[in-house]
């Protein structure tokens, strides 16, 4: 069974557009779980334009399924994660001003750095996933660095999927087969939606978890949060 983790960044973005606490991020996280989500994902960025660093302790306290914190492992980010240990930390190589996560790690160039960060997180009992493009060499590099999982960047897949689904998913299929062979878990995220999710899951062997935010929250504007989460679970 592939788990659905709901990324609530876009909810925080709406909250931050006004003063106050509407919508209430903690309540949204609790409701996502009550509606069937098997995890909650957040991605605090340096400018705190959506998830704020101050949100993390309160969310860490209420999430009872799987709390996943994504981000670029700066010292400030690592302190936040180590002080509020989640079930999983996903390492993402975002530059400070990045609009969204659109590129994975070069796990060979940065292997020594990743090995150190991964070890520090694992010492606190945190499962570590490394965000990568779907290339075999990056799967191997993540495994060599000691990661528990990789998260495939699926933006390119989503872009190509409408015209050529087989070509779009082929690198992900190959990389998942390799990951399963060498003993590293597979997650995926970015631009997965109700149109492409089922096909992706069927073609990617051993997919453990998907993290979905933008599309899911957009769908919830029409269908409601509870219905939308159920629709994604049904698709999986």
Catalytic residue of the set 50, 138, 172, 190: 190
Q: How many CB atoms lie within 10 A of CB 226?
A: 14
Cβ contact 105:71 at 8 Å: no
- Is 43 one of the annotated active-site residues of the chain? yes
Catalytic residue of the set 33, 38, 43, 66: 43
- Summarize pLDDT for 163-215 with one digit per residue, the tens: 999 999 999 999 999 999 999 999 999 999 999 999 999 999 999 999 999 99
* Per-residue pLDDT band at 32 (split at 50, 70, 90): very high
Q: Which long-range contacts (CB under 8 A, 24 or more apart) does 21-30 make?
A: 25/55, 25/58, 25/59, 26/58, 26/59, 26/62, 28/225, 29/59, 29/62, 29/63, 30/62
pTM as predicted: 0.95
Domains and CATH numbers, the chain: 3-235 (3.20.20.70)
- Is 70 one of the annotated active-site residues of the chain? yes
Decide if pLDDT at 96 tops 70: no
Cβ contact 213:13 at 8 Å: no
Catalytic residue of the set 70, 138, 151, 172: 70
Closest by Cα among 68, 59, 21, 58 to 212? 68
pLDDT of residue 74: 95
- Is 50 one of the annotated active-site residues of the chain? no
Instruction: Quote the mean pLDDT of the chain.
Output: 96
């Amino acid at each position: 069974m592939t788990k659905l983790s709901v990324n609530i960044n876009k909810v925080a973005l709406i909250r931050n557009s006004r003063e106050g606490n509407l919508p209430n991020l903690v309540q949204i996280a609790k409701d996502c779980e009550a509606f069937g989500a098997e995890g909650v994902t957040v991605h605090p960025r340096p400018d705190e334009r959506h998830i704020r660093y101050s949100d993390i302790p309160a969310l860490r306290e209420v999430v009872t399924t799987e709390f996943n914190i994504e981000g670029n492992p700066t010292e400030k980010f690592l302190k936040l994660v180590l002080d509020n240990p989640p079930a999983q930390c996903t390492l993402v190589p975002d530059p400070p001003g990045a609009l969204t996560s659109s590129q994975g790690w070069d796990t060979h160039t940065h292997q020594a750095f990743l090995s150190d960060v991964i070890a520090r997180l694992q010492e606190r009992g945190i499962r570590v996933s490394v965000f990568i493009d779907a290339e075999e060499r990056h799967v191997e590099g993540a495994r060599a660095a000691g990661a528990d999982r990789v998260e495939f960047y699926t933006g390119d897949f989503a872009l190509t999927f409408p015209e050529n689904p087989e070509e779009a998913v082929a690198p992900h299929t190959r990389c998942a087969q390799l990951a399963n062979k060498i003993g590293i878990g597979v997650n995926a995220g970015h631009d997965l939606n109700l149109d492409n999710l089922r096909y992706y899951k069927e073609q990617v062997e051993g997919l453990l978890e998907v993290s979905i935010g933008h599309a899911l929250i957009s769908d919830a504007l029409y269908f409601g949060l509870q219905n939308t989460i159920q629709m994604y679970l049904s698709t999986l």
